[in-house]
């Protein structure tokens, strides 16, 4: 068995979660260790150059919460000594029962760390760190349990950096990571020690005001935090002016469980994006032109029943053979007076006003009927339907999918669901459970927009996934940016290693398609192949394409 798999099994039996983070170089590895606050980290000694050692050495040894282990093919005494200086241990790959020894040492280190903490220390007495999501959620659970009988047990603020993708794209992930860290530190330095701050992943932070706070007081804190970003963030000689928005919620008014609060805060944050003050509380103001929004929102409730939606299809092709291997269904709304609307306009409204479920149901049904019509002509391809962020937070989606599949008598494998990466990271446990249930219904799961945000691929192993779709921003830049090309390459390799299908989306020209083929990417989708089109045009395209392939084959 693969060494890592074996070690994972041993550690998981001890209640650890093992995350694999693929790092391109030493700096990325250093940043990952620094940022994630793992219980322990096992690194490839091949990465251990001077830079990594300096970085790791700086993490602050005396109270280091992350014991470090290195795995080396071979190592000189001098190299081992350097590692031991930063408190790390090395294991040689050839050793027998290596995994057992490593697991035992990791466990021993855990006991040492836990024992060395003062008995009173705990997340609720104030924590001067930026917590990872799981630890923040655990701390909130404790606080909520404690404050169940009181009003305003706590306030939960969600801070979102706008247009962070742009920073990722223009400056690269490393600088983007550093900006994220700087934001975390700035927030930490400006809230009370008793309050908590967590990094929710991507460009989102959470601030929990743990002392009884009114909603107005929480909004005042939000304003103060917002003001902090009037000052730009300086990283690597660059100046970043960040545009942040904050959604404000309070328990128990907006929810009495962590889940409810997180959902409320997401909604509030969405509203904040459109609010001129950049702050909104849950059920607070809606965006931009309220009259238009209100009208659209009302109309959306009727759109599915009135059959005003249209489903467009965009083919996915197998790069090796050029043959059609699937299609993504993309919804449009033919509004009675406003014309054909893009999903970017109405999906966010549907998510907020609760009509998203009807929309998804409509899309699934339409997709299944069109798929059946194609199958009747001998074209058996799975259709991918997009699932929205909001849907994945509730179990209702599972029943909704099950009913639709049953009503349409769909064979297993008829549908595939695309879910975006950011949603998964935000609530990984819930997402994992819901996706597993969906997959048990015979649908496959695809991770959409992969690589777009600031994220790691470590969680992939723990999710029920069949396919990853490389975000079109990376595909668009891969020819001009060696860095992005390397990222695309590593995603392709990773997908292969983990047994996922890998699809490149947003392929706009022949050269990109060629480059993807060279990297070993199996599947492509994009305007160069075909834009999304209605089913009759799709069918024509399909026939033309298969005729062409028959001709080419002679």
Whole-angstrom distance, CA of residue 13 vs CA of residue 15: 5
Touching ligand C2E, residues 271-330 (CB under 6 A) = 314, 330
* Shortest CB 451 distance to Ca ion, Å: 10
Q: Return the residue of 152, 204, 366, 472 that touches ligand C2E, per CB under 6 A.
A: 472
Give the helix ranges, DSSP H, for 212-319: 215-228, 258-274, 290-303
Q: Taking contact as CB under 6 A, which single stretch among the options 203-211, 267-275, 295-303, 506-514 is the one that binds ligand C2E?
A: 506-514
Q: State yes or no: residue 388 binds ligand C2E (CB under 6 A).
A: yes
Stretch in the footprint of ligand C2E (CB under 6 A) among 95-103, 115-123, 256-264, 504-512: 504-512
The CB-of-382 to Ca ion minimum distance in angstroms stands at 14
Per the CB < 8 A criterion, the answer to whether 329 and 313 are in contact is yes
Q: Which of residues 434-473 bind Ca ion (CB under 5 A)?
A: 448-449
Residue 361 corresponds to which tokens in the numbers above?
Answer: 């149901």
What does residue 461 show for φ and ψ, rounded to 5 degrees? Answer: -60, -30
- Taking the complex as a whole, the smallest distance from the CB of residue 113 to ligand C2E amounts, in Å, to 42
Candidate residues 428, 508, 520, 537; the one interacting with ligand C2E per rule CB under 6 A: 508
**Interaction with ligand C2E in 334-373: which residues (CB under 6 A)?**
342-344, 347, 363
- Supply the minimum distance, in Å, between the C-beta of residue 410 and Ca ion: 20
Would you say the C-alpha torsion 385, 390, 395, 396 has a positive or negative sign? negative
510 binds ligand C2E (CB under 6 A): no
Q: Which of residues 512-551 bind ligand C2E (CB under 6 A)?
A: 526-527, 532
SS3 251: strand
How many other C-beta atoms are found inside a 10 Å radius of the C-beta of residue 426? 20
Token pair for residue 491?
A: 């995603």
Strands across the sheet with 244-251, in order?
130-132, 196-201, 204-209, 154-161, 244-251, 279-281
**Footprint of ligand C2E on 414-443 (CB under 6 A):** 418
Q: Which does 236 bind (CB under 5 to 8 A by kind): ligand C2E, Ca ion, none?
A: none
Tell which residue, 171, 162, 190, 165, has the closest CA to residue 239. 171
Neighbours of 57 (CB within 10 A): 15
d(CA 392, CA 419): 9
Whether the Cβ atoms of residue 217 and residue 122 lie closer than 8 Å to each other: no
d(CA 117, CA 128): 14
Q: What is the closest distance, in whole angstroms, from the C-beta atom of residue 317 to Ca ion in the complex?
A: 16
Which of 195, 270, 418, 484: binder of Ca ion (CB under 5 A)? Answer: 418
* CB 417, min distance to ligand C2E, A: 10
Least distance from Ca ion to the Cβ atom of residue 525, Å: 9
Report the nearest approach of Ca ion to the CB of residue 465 (Å).
Answer: 14
Could you tell me the two tokens for 243? 């545009």
Residue 132: other Cβ atoms inside 10 A: 16
Binding residue count for ligand C2E, defined by CB under 6 A = 21
The CB-of-218 to ligand C2E minimum distance in angstroms stands at: 31
> Is 53 or 274 the residue whose CB approaches ligand C2E more closely?
274
Buried b (16+ CB within 10 A) or exposed e, 518-544: ebebbbbbbeebbebbebeebbebbee
Per CB under 6 A, the list member of 8, 127, 178, 386 interacting with ligand C2E is 386
Provide the b/e sequence for 97-125 (b: ≥16 CB within 10 Å): ebbeebbeebbebbeebeeeeeeeeebbe
Q: How far is the CB of 415 from ligand C2E (least distance, A)?
A: 12
Between CA 270 and CA 274 the distance in angstroms is: 7
Smallest distance from ligand C2E to CB 512, Å: 9
Distant-in-sequence, close-in-space partners of 105: CB < 8 Å, separation ≥ 6: 69, 89
Q: Map the footprint of Ca ion across residues 386-405, applying CB under 5 A.
A: 386
Residue pair 86/68 in contact by the 8 Å Cβ criterion: yes
**Nearest to ligand C2E of 10, 304 (CB atom):** 304
Report the residue number, 23 or 503, with the smaller CB distance to ligand C2E.
503
CB-closest chain residue to Ca ion = 418
How far apart are the C-alpha atoms of 170 and 476, rounded to whole Å? 13
Binding mask 104-143 for ligand C2E (x = CB under 6 A): ----------------------------------------
Q: What is the distance between the alpha carbons of residues 393 and 257, in angstroms, rounded to a whole number?
A: 14
Does the footprint of Ca ion cover residue 421 (CB under 5 A)? no
Nearer to Ca ion, 206 or 452 (CB): 452
Q: Which is nearer to Ca ion, 127 or 386 (CB)?
A: 386
**Should residue 244 be labelled a site residue for ligand C2E when binding is judged by CB under 6 A?**
no
Q: What does the binding site for Ca ion look like in residue numbers (CB under 5 A)?
A: 386, 418, 448-449
Which residues in this chain contact ligand C2E in the complex, by CB under 6 A? 314, 330-331, 342-344, 347, 363, 386-388, 418, 448-449, 472, 506-508, 526-527, 532
């Amino acid at each position: 068995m693969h060494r890592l798999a074996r070690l994972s099994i041993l550690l998981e039996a001890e209640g650890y979660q093992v995350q694999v983070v693929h790092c391109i170089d030493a700096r990325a590895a250093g940043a990952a260790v620094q940022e994630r606050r793992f219980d322990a980290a096992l690194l490839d000694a091949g990465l251990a150059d001077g830079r990594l050692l300096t970085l790791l050495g700086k993490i602050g040894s005396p109270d280091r919460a992350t014991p470090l282990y290195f795995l080396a093919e071979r190592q000189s005494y001098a190299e081992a000594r350097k590692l031991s200086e930063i408190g790390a241990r090395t294991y040689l790959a050839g050793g027998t029962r290596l995994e057992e020894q490593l697991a035992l040492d990791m466990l021993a280190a855990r006991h040492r760390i836990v024992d060395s903490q003062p008995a009173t220390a705990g997340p609720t007495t104030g924590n001067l760190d930026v917590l990872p999501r799981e630890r923040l959620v655990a701390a909130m659970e404790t606080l909520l349990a404690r404050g169940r009988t009181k009003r305003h047990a706590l306030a939960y603020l969600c801070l979102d950096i706008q247009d962070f993708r742009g920073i990722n794209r223009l400056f690269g992930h490393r600088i983007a990571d550093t900006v994220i860290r700087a934001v975390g530190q700035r927030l930490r330095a400006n809230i009370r020690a008793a309050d908590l701050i967590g990094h929710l992943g991507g460009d989102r932070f959470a601030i929990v005001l743990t002392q009884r706070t009114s909603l107005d007081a929480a909004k005042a804190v939000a304003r103060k935090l917002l003001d902090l970003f009037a000052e730009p963030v300086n990283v690597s000689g660059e100046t970043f002016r960040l545009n942040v928005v904050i959604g404000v919620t309070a328990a128990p008014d907006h929810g009495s469980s962590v889940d409810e609060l997180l959902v409320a805060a997401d909604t509030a944050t969405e509203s904040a994006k459109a609010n001129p003050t950049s702050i909104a509380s849950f059920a607070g103001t809606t965006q931009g032109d309220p009259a238009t929004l209100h009208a659209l929102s009302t109309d959306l409730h009727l759109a599915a029943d009135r059959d005003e939606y249209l489903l467009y299809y965009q083919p996915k092709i197998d790069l090796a053979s050029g043959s059609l291997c699937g299609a993504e269904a993309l919804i449009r709304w033919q509004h009675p007076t406003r014309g054909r609307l893009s999903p970017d306009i109405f999906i966010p409204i549907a998510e907020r006003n609760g009509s998203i479920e009807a929309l998804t149901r409509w899309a699934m049904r339409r997709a299944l009927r069109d798929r059946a019509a194609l199958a009747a002509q001998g074209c058996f391809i799975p259709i991918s339907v997009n699932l929205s962020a909001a849907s994945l937070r509730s179990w209702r989606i599972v029943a909704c999918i099950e009913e639709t599949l049953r009503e349409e008598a769909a064979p297993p494998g008829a549908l595939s669901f695309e879910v975006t990466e950011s949603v998964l990271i935000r609530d990984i446990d819930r997402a994992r459970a819901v996706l597993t249930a969906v997959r048990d219904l015979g649908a496959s799961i695809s991770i959409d927009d992969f690589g777009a945000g600031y994220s790691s691929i470590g969680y992939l192993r723990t999710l029920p996934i069949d396919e990853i779709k490389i975000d079109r921003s990376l595909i668009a830049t891969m020819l001009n940016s060696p860095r992005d090309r390397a990222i695309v390459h590593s995603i392709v390799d990773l997908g292969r290693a983990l047994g996922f299908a890998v699809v490149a989306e947003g392929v706009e020209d022949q050269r990109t398609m060629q480059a993807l083929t060279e990297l070993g990417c199996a599947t492509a989708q994009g305007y160069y192949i075909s834009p999304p089109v209605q089913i009759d045009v799709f069918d024509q395209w399909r026939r033309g394409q298969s005729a062409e392939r028959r001709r080419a084959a002679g």
